Amino acid sequence: MAYFIGKRLIQSVFVMLAVAFLAFSLFRFVGDPITQMTGVETSVADQERLREELGLNDPFALQFMRFTGDMLQGDFGFSYRTRQPVAEMISSRMPATLELGVVALLISLVVGIPAGVYTALRPRGAATQAILMVTLVGVSIPTFVIGIMLIFFFGVQLGWLPTFGRGGTVTIGGWETSFLTVDGWRALILPAITLGVYQLTLTMRLVRAEMMEVMRSDYIRFATARGVPMGRLYFRHALANTMVPVITIIGLQFGGVIAFSIVTESVFQWPGMGLLFLESIRFVDIPVMGVYLVVIAFFFVLVNLIVDLLYVAIDPRLRIKDVS
C-alpha cells in the first residue's frame, strides 16, 4: 500500500517537473524576457547587465533549477503586463475559480450519479430514454452556448439572476468567498450550472455504463440468487463496485472543470484565474501563462493523489495483501 501511494507520488512529482519545464521553456524561449521587462529607453548595456543579473546567461540546466527553486518558495516572477508579482495576481483570483469549480463539480455529482444509477437499472424505461436524449444534447451544446442561453432566459427575459461578476463577497483570512452572502450565491448559480452541465452528462454516462457492467457480474447474479434485498443489491453491492472507476474519472474531470472555467468565466465575466489567463494570452503575458499552467497541473495532480487514497479506502484488494 505504501508502495502504491509512493509510486503515485513519484509519478506526480514527475508530471509537475515536466509542467514546470514547459512553463520555464515558455518563459525562456517565447519572446525575449529582457525586451519584455524593459522599456524602449533602456540601453543595450543596461539590458546586458540585467540579463547577467537575472542569470539568463547561465547554463540552461542551472536556470531551470533556479526557476523551480523560486517556484517552490512561492516566487513566481512578475507579470509583463501589470508589473505585479504573478503570485499575488493568481492568488487573488484563485478563490473565485475554486468556488465555481467545486460547486459545479458538486452539481455534476449530486445529479449525475443518481441519474446514472436510475438509467442503468431501468434501461428500457421511458424516463431513461428521455434522460439519455437530454444528456446527448447536453454534451453537444458548447459550454458558452449554455451560458448564453442561461443569461438570455434567467438574466435578460426573466431578470431573476445577475449575469456577470461575483455579486457580494466577503473576505476571510485573505480568501474572498461568495458563500456567505445571498448576492454571492445568486451570482454563482448560473455560472456553476453552465460549468456543471457538461461534467454532469459525463458523470451520468459513466456511472450508467459502469453500473450496467457491474450488474452483469457473477457476484451480483449470485447475490440475486441468494435473495439479497434489491435495495442492498443495488447500493451496497453494485454501486460500491461502480465507484472505483467512477472516482478515477471524477479526478480526471476536476482538471477539466478548472480548465473549462476559462470559458464560463469569459461568458459571465467571472473574475477568476481563467479570465486572467485569457487576458494574459491576448497580451502574450508569458509569466502569467506559465504560472497558470503550473497551478492547474498542481490541482490536477493533487486531486488525483486524493483519488488514489480513496481507492485504497474503497478497495480492500489494494489495502490488504493476499494471504494465500
| Distance between CA atoms of residues 143 and 140, nearest Å | 9
Query: Quick one: cell of 50?
Result: 540585467
Closest CA to 79 of 290, 227, 224, 269: 290
Closest CA to 202 of 116, 310, 300: 116
Q: What is the DSSP letter of 324?
A: -
Counting contacts by CB under 8 A, is residue 121 touching other proteins? Answer: no
Choices 56-64, 68-76, 93-101, 261-269 (CB under 8 A): range interacting with other proteins: 261-269
| Distance between CA atoms of residues 150 and 114, nearest Å | 24
Counting contacts by CB under 8 A, is residue 317 touching other proteins? Answer: yes
Counting contacts by CB under 8 A, is residue 199 touching other proteins? Answer: no
Choices 59-67, 95-103, 189-197, 229-237 (CB under 8 A): range interacting with other proteins: 229-237
Of 207, 300, 308, 311, the residue at the interface with other proteins (CB under 8 A) is 300
Choices 46-54, 57-65, 167-175, 289-297 (CB under 8 A): range interacting with other proteins: 289-297
Counting contacts by CB under 8 A, is residue 126 touching other proteins? Answer: no
Of 94, 252, 305, 307, the residue at the interface with other proteins (CB under 8 A) is 252
| Distance between CA atoms of residues 101 and 260, nearest Å | 9
What Cα–Cα distance (Å) separates residue 160 from each residue in 19, 140, 184, 196?
42, 27, 14, 20
CB-based contact 314:306 (threshold 8 Å)? no
Counting contacts by CB under 8 A, is residue 159 touching other proteins? Answer: no
**Of residues 184 and 274, the one with the C-beta less far from other proteins:** 274
Using only C-alpha atoms, what is the Rg of the chain? 24
**Of residues 53 and 321, the one with the C-beta less far from other proteins:** 321
Counting contacts by CB under 8 A, is residue 15 touching other proteins? Answer: yes
| Distance between CA atoms of residues 189 and 298, nearest Å | 27
Of 65, 130, 170, 284, the residue at the interface with other proteins (CB under 8 A) is 284
Of 54, 259, 305, 310, the residue at the interface with other proteins (CB under 8 A) is 259
